[in-house]
Structure 1
Amino acid sequence: MRVFVKNKRGEALMPCSVRKARLLLKQQKAIIVGYQPFAIQLTIATGETVQELHVGVDTGVKHLGIAVISEDKIFAHGEIEFRQDVSSLLETRKTYRRSRRNRNTRYRRCKYKFNTKRVFDKKKKKWIKPSISLTSKRPEGWLPPSLENRIQHTFRWVDTFTKLLPHPKLHLEVGKFDVQKMMNPLIQGKEYQEGETFSYHEVRYYVFARDHYTCQVCKKKNKILNTHHIIYRSHKGSDRADNLITVCTDCHTHENHQEGAILWTWMMAKKKVKQYKEPPFMHVLRKRIFSRYPEARITYGSETTPHRKTLALEKSHQNDAIAIIGISKINEHPCSHFRIVQFRKKKRSLHEATARKGRKEPNCLQKRNAKNTKESLGFLLNDQVCIHGQRGFITGFTGPYVQTIEGKYITLPGKSYKQVPLRELRRMAHHNNWQYTIQIETRPIHAPPIKDGELRAIC
């Protein structure tokens, strides 16, 4: 992987090799200006000849693939993983806030603004009170926080890499999906306007008719029926018909929802329900990309797949980013790639519904407990540390706990518990909300067996 370079004025130059960057820093001809990714700035005047550079970006819901290429040489490539817990955390926060009136918590301003002034309605010919108005109205183009978070971070990393390169050409792959055709491949014409619940008063009546008014658990008819979610809404389940089943009142009880009961066992067997939450996000992202990067070259998966197979690359986000650019061959492939994972560093909950294990009373005051500690003995949350030859990131101070970027706990040799002592940790780097590592490959993934006379990959 190459090192990004800037001149004395802070303008981007061509990336250099790791060895050349090390010599420039040792001779004090350059200074470090960035670590994620690693970048240096020259302190001396030098030539500023640049080549044509291309940046390939493979957009997605959870991952983002990025590759920097010049002609047939790959300078840097890797993938970025976004958070997927924003929606569930907001749902948890909403649950805590709605139940705060039953607990001893601090005062929080009401979300609504009540206007008690009456107005005269000429049509009804009487004085009435106006409806409740929200204090914070949603602006045009508003998106849920979980979607807005991914879109803004996608733009952030694309801008980060393009600003480190001299006038690069941007290549973006976007997705365009026909959700109704994914659900019904034979759909055509006016059937797009007539969904599966067409001519039914509600979705529940369609579910009853689809299941022939029969309980799907006990297989009995002529009973009082209810609709039941296969995947609960609290677990990101939808209200579509394919996520609903018909259950009678005898089976739809609290006892049958418990582990080992007949309904619970039946639900575990029917958990494989197709979710179509990703296509709408990709549609929104595609529109945002068109307005944000009007000069970028837009490609689709139907163009990327043939190019990737021509280059003999395996399926991955970083390899898709290479194929998006459309190069015909690869003569220089680095033996390392970067991996970036988004990390939730702060916990903003002010109170909890129930006490944690070991606590005698609920945390009902506006104060942080031991689990929300951000610093201890000079170590900060999400710092990259080394212990017994293994590298990981500090994810909590109650232990403390150290995890790899893949989420595996690093434990002491011969021990089964996850806690490690702080005195045995050695800090390697400080990270904010992103975990950044360089992963070494034994040899390029795409390369077939090298024959005599062929150009070998340069690491």
Structure 2
Amino acid sequence: MKHENANRVFLLNKDGKPLMPCRPRKARQLLKSGKAFVVKKYPFTIQLKYGSYGYKQKVSLGVDTGQRHIGFAVVSQDKVLHQSEVELRQDVHTNLYTRKIYRRGRRNRKTRYRQARFLNRVHGKRDGLWLPPSVKSKVSHNIAWIKRYLAVLPNPDLHIEVGKFDMAKMVNPDISGKQYQEGSLKDWKNYEYYVLARDEYTCQLCHKHGEGVKLVVHHIVYRSQGGTDRVDNLITLCTNCHTTKNHQPGGKLYKWMKAKKKVTKQLKGATFMNILRKRIMTTFPEASFQYGSQTYVDRKNLLLPKGHFMDTIAISGIKSVGQMPETVTMISQFRKKKRSLHEATARKGRKQPNTSSKRNEKNTKYARGLWLNDYVRVIGNNAKGYVKGFKSNGYSVYLTDGLGNYVLNDGRNYVNSKQCQLITHNSSWQKAEQMLLLYEFK
């Protein structure tokens, strides 16, 4: 198998119409000579200043949708021109829940009162299209990134992998017929009564039971941490064992949970893929769709290793891989703003009380001419990185390489801001080129 150096660069003509992607060397020559200029960073796209319509080959775009990673591959004949992987944020639900707790706490203290809002999204629920903010964000990004690639390719054939899951069968493989309508609580008055009977009215930690023992039904994994109200996430405990200390790392319940492995099987991924499938099919009716079972067979026939960007090569419909780049573009989402006005616990070492500390001192997004997520060059060692955060009132900054690794300077994970030379401002995305391991293709 023959390898090229890097991913192709997307190219637009003078009128903004897509042309065939060009090699990075050709793109550098066009930019250096002033014959082209950059129009998009994600994916990286340049536009010519002179008229050109070029020869357009048949191009296919393979997409591997997902709630955490989205894979893309652009292929033409037996060549892979471009491959990339987009990583989405997974902290939206946690941040919204934290904000809710902060606001609820303020209402119970002598602080600025913020009136609770009820039914503020009811107008969106009536049309049947309402989604929780965390799910809506991921669905929107899946659709938006597909449109980004379609906008820079000349009439591509779109191939998308979607998921369809029977979650009831994932919990009970033997389910059939009317059992789908019954559920695990059939013939029980409520879930607490069911859990108590299942555990034989015995505390599952100290095994106490009988008269004089007060029992409660407790969540194994808190709902704030991703747990559900399903009965397999509930346990019977006595009041002596039902303590916060026992649930902390090192506590009795924590050790029991690790030993018994009695934790709810998370079905969030399957639920999300069912939601995404309907919206993807509605948005891109012209696309060819397939499921993971077919992708698995196609990838094995092409002798490709497992990976989101590798799956997309098989999804694209290519029959054989004769040439592909040695790098893959890794794009990750970055949180630039922290909108909370309050912190539950003051950070260690802060001299000013938490109630009177200014917001910009808690949430520094600009200092010494640099913004969060700016792409900079370190003067001296010529390293490059993204501004992740500030230290000592902006005199020093933390830099990462786009893959989550700190850019080190003399063994330290921070750099003096005077050593940072701005390359470009960024939105809420980071990009890095990652080399593919050649042994994977042997």
Q: Normalising by the residue count of structure 1, what TM-score does the alignment of the two structures yield? A: 0.86
- Corresponding residue for 1:181? 169
Match 1:314 to one of 282, 305, 311? 305
- Corresponding residue for 2:4? none
- Corresponding residue for 1:425? 420
Match 2:133 to one of 145, 165, 172? 145
- Corresponding residue for 1:67? 73
For 1:396, give the aligned amino acid.
G
Partners of 2:44 and 2:148 in 1: how far apart? 12
Give the match's secondary structure for 1:333.
strand
Is 1:397 the counterpart of 2:414? The answer is: no
Give the match's secondary structure for 2:123.
coil
Give the match's secondary structure for 1:420.
strand
Relative distance call for 1:87 and 1:333 in structure 2 (3 A) is same
Matches within 5 A, 1:58-457: 58-103=64-109, 105-106=111-112, 108=114, 110-112=116-118, 134=120, 137-139=123-125, 140=127, 141-222=129-210, 223-270=213-260, 272-364=263-355, 367-387=358-378, 388=381, 390-398=383-391, 400-415=397-412, 418-441=413-436, 443=438, 447-448=441-442
CA contact under 8 A between 1:355 and 1:361: conserved in structure 2? no
CA contact under 8 A between 1:73 and 1:332: conserved in structure 2? yes
Task: Give, in angstroms, the shift of residue 390 of structure 1.
Answer: 4.2
CA contact under 8 A between 1:65 and 1:317: conserved in structure 2? yes
Output the aligned Cα RMSD: 2.3
Task: Give, in angstroms, the shift of residue 432 of structure 1.
Answer: 1.2
Give the match's secondary structure for 2:415.
coil
For 1:292, give the aligned amino acid.
T
Task: Give, in angstroms, the shift of residue 278 of structure 1.
Answer: 1.2
Partners of 2:121 and 2:18 in 1: how far apart? 45
Task: Give, in angstroms, the shift of residue 379 of structure 1.
Answer: 1.6
Partners of 1:261 and 1:107 in 2: how far apart? 37
Deviates more, 1:354-363 or 1:214-223: 354-363
CA contact under 8 A between 1:350 and 1:366: conserved in structure 2? no
Task: Give, in angstroms, the shift of residue 357 of structure 1.
Answer: 2.2
Relative distance call for 1:69 and 1:149 in structure 2 (3 A) is same
Deviations 1:101-131 (A, max 9, x none): 344544545525xxxxxxxxxxxxxxxxxxx
Task: Give, in angstroms, the shift of residue 321 of structure 1.
Answer: 0.8
Unaligned stretches of 5+ in structure 2? 1-6
Relative distance call for 1:45 and 1:301 in structure 2 (3 A) is same
Partners of 2:187 and 2:372 in 1: how far apart? 56
Relative distance call for 1:193 and 1:102 in structure 2 (3 A) is closer
Partners of 1:401 and 1:380 in 2: how far apart? 12
CA contact under 8 A between 2:377 and 2:385: conserved in structure 1? yes
Unaligned stretches of 5+ in structure 1? 113-132, 449-459
Deviations 1:339-363 (A, max 9, x none): 0000100011122233222334544
Relative distance call for 1:224 and 1:108 in structure 2 (3 A) is closer
Task: Give, in angstroms, the shift of residue 90 of structure 1.
Answer: 0.4
Task: Give, in angstroms, the shift of residue 365 of structure 1.
Answer: 6.1
Deviations 1:249-307 (A, max 9, x none): 22223443455443343234345542111111111101101111111111101111110
- Corresponding residue for 1:3? 9
CA contact under 8 A between 1:353 and 1:362: conserved in structure 2? no
Matched positions, count? 425
CA contact under 8 A between 1:8 and 1:42: conserved in structure 2? yes
Task: Give, in angstroms, the shift of residue 231 of structure 1.
Answer: 1.0
Partners of 2:291 and 2:30 in 1: how far apart? 41
Deviates more, 1:385-394 or 1:195-204: 385-394
CA contact under 8 A between 2:67 and 2:272: conserved in structure 1? yes
Deviates more, 1:29-38 or 1:53-62: 29-38
CA contact under 8 A between 1:354 and 1:362: conserved in structure 2? no
Bigger CA radius of gyration: 1
Task: Give, in angstroms, the shift of residue 371 of structure 1.
Answer: 3.9
Task: Give, in angstroms, the shift of residue 36 of structure 1.
Answer: 2.2
Partners of 1:108 and 1:262 in 2: how far apart? 39
Give the match's secondary structure for 1:400.
strand
CA contact under 8 A between 1:371 and 1:396: conserved in structure 2? no
Task: Give, in angstroms, the shift of residue 137 of structure 1.
Answer: 3.4
Relative distance call for 1:171 and 1:347 in structure 2 (3 A) is same
Partners of 1:239 and 1:396 in 2: how far apart? 38
Deviates more, 1:319-328 or 1:142-151: 319-328
Relative distance call for 1:172 and 1:211 in structure 2 (3 A) is same
CA contact under 8 A between 2:64 and 2:71: conserved in structure 1? yes
CA contact under 8 A between 2:106 and 2:113: conserved in structure 1? no
Task: Give, in angstroms, the shift of residue 410 of structure 1.
Answer: 3.4
Task: Give, in angstroms, the shift of residue 170 of structure 1.
Answer: 0.9
